[in-house]
Amino acid sequence: MKLKERELIKKMEGVEVERPLKLHFIPYLAPGHMIPLGDIAALFASRAQQVTIITTPSNTHFFTNKSPSFADPLFLRLHTVDFPSKQVGLPDGVESLSSTTDIATSAKIYYGAMLLHGPIQDFMEKDPPDCIITDCIYPWVYDLGHKLKIPTIAFTGFSIFTVSLMESLRINPSWKSHTDLDSFVVPNFPHSITLCTKPPKSFTGFMEMVHETTLKTNGLIVNNFAELDGEECIEHYEKTTGHKAWHLGPASLIRKTIQEKAERGHESVVGVQECLRWLDLKRVNSVLYICFGSNCYFSDKQLYEIACGIEASGHEFVWVVPEKKGKEDESEEEKGKWLPKGFEDRNIQKKKGLIIRGWAPQVMILGHTAVGVFMTHCGWNSTIEAVSAGIPMITWPVHGEQFYNEKLITDVRGIGIEVGATEWCVDGIEERKKVVNKDSIEKAVRKLMDGGDEAEDIRRRAREFGDKARGAVQEGGSSHNNLLALIDDIRRLRDSKPLDSFNDSLS
């Protein structure tokens, strides 16, 4: 039955009908952006709002693996715009950061994403929404919304803790006088945070541009829940910026069944049932899960140290190693040339360890009772997925905002420990000069996996935040209430408010 038919029946029955909002979502072309914003779009659709996700042809699979349990096709649709492959010098089909492992191609994808302005504007003019919800990386969406008199809300892939921390660094630049190797305390921040090194200039410069664009919009959607960021950081952000933040996450918790969790993102290179059978044979909390995201590539030397460290720890493990693009046809022997001699015989063949080369069903793995600890690069999606599952973390930040996320995990919330990584790179592809040695890796794994009072305290706090995460998205929870309030505010704006008063409406 079509929406108009349902409305007509309700009117005939004397039921007041609330016209759904018409919302257009514009995710950035990277898995870490498309996956959570796609789930948030599904959240709005689950509340009977008419949602359109705008993406490019090769990225539709990130949004089409949907289950009727949370994405009624009546309310959620896709609109594709062609990616300007020829203009940026890329082959057809290379339209996402998951398609590359080199910096030059990543830059071309970024420039291509910026060129989507034209075709998206054409679509918006023909089919204007009530509100545009856009990834904060796109600097042109605010101007587009302003031109068409359509309010815009930004989406950030960071926590408000991290956004607030970056804002403190931006408005208090005294830290820049330190050398790159000096540690320093973040000035004028709600928590005492000491950073081991300065962030790269190119990263801070880019994020300042993103921040300026974000503050022009009419609010900020965050894939987190208020209890993890803390009211002190939310208040700090809103007080220092005058901007409203809406916590609607964790987005991954919209996935309820094993199948829904397994379908999130790319298709897994390991069969879901095969992975489950392996984990089902293991004791509760006995498995170390290791994954550094879809866009972080370690040298063979670093992979060797990881292998030695986890084997020396004596614990069972699932280790995800991203497949290097262009080398998918390598033999198994070539792919494992960095492994210590006999490693596969001692671990993989004897079912003590499982190596997944490529994309893995991470949400499903983290939700399994066998997994006891997550060694992570501290990308925000991985971080919030681990928190949602109540899993403590071994933190190994590499690039971007990951060193900030690490501090929230370890220093503020006490749900993880640091492995000792100190080299802050521009991106996950960049060649790293420092190697975290096997002894540091073994020590960190044993500290959390071997038990003891400190480990049990960390594990208890992780479980508590897992409970809070699940409570936040349930009826009456903080994120659930934020979603309803945001829908109501956008609806009131649509029905009675001019664009210029949108910020006042959200405040």
- Residues 204 and 210: their CA atoms lie apart, in Å, by 10
* 371-376/393-395 β-pairing: parallel
pLDDT of residue 17: 60
- Residues 63 and 65: their CA atoms lie apart, in Å, by 6
Q: Name the β-bridge partners of 395.
A: 376, 418
67 confidence band (pLDDT: 50, 70, 90) = very low
Residues 6+ apart with CB under 8 A from 240: 164, 167, 168, 171
- Residues 33 and 26: their CA atoms lie apart, in Å, by 10
- The CA–CA distances, whole Å, from 449 to 306, 406, 444 equal 16, 19, 9
What is the topology classification, in CATH, of domain 260-470?
Rossmann fold (3.40.50)
pLDDT of 181 over the 80 cut: no
Write down the catalytic residue from 39, 135, 229, 489. Answer: 135
Q: Strand 50-55's sheet: what is its strand order?
A: 76-80, 50-55, 22-26, 131-135, 152-156, 220-222, 245-247
pTM recorded for the entire structure: 0.90
> What is the residue extent of each domain of the chain?
20-253+472-506, 260-470
Task: Calculate the average pLDDT of the chain.
Answer: 88
CB-side neighbour CA atoms (13 Å) of 372: 19
Q: Which of 200-204, 290-294, 368-372 tops mean pLDDT? A: 368-372
Q: Name the β-bridge partners of 54.
A: 79
| For the chain, percent of residues with pLDDT exceeding 70 | 88
Helix (H) or strand (E) holding 245, with range, is: strand 245-247
- Residues 112 and 118: their CA atoms lie apart, in Å, by 11
- Residue 411 · residue 320 · CB < 8 Å: no
pLDDT of residue 448: 97
Supply the angle between the helices 478-496 and 31-46 in degrees, to the nearest 10: 70
- Residues 465 and 387: their CA atoms lie apart, in Å, by 6
- Residues 317 and 305: their CA atoms lie apart, in Å, by 15
- Residues 360 and 392: their CA atoms lie apart, in Å, by 19
For residue 453 the two structure tokens come to: 């009072």
Neighbours of 64 (CB within 10 A): 12
- The pLDDT tens digits of the residues spanning 248-298 come to 999 999 887 777 776 676 666 677 888 999 999 999 999 999 999 877 889
- Say whether domain 20-253+472-506 belongs to CATH 3.40.50.2000: yes
Write down the catalytic residue from 24, 33, 315, 368. Answer: 33
Greater confidence, 192 or 100?
Answer: 192
Mean per-residue pLDDT, 3-31: 72
191 is catalytic: no
Q: Do domains 20-253+472-506 and 260-470 have the same CATH topology?
A: yes
pLDDT of 9 over the 50 cut: no
117 is catalytic: no
Neighbours of 383 (CB within 10 A): 27
The string over 86-107, giving b where at least 16 C-beta atoms fall within 10 Å of a residue's C-beta and e elsewhere, is: eebebeeebbbbbbbbeeebbe
Among 246, 222, 240, 206, smallest CA distance to 487 is for 246
pLDDT of 223 over the 90 cut: yes
pLDDT of residue 257: 74
- Residues 292 and 306: their CA atoms lie apart, in Å, by 12
pLDDT of 504 over the 70 cut: no
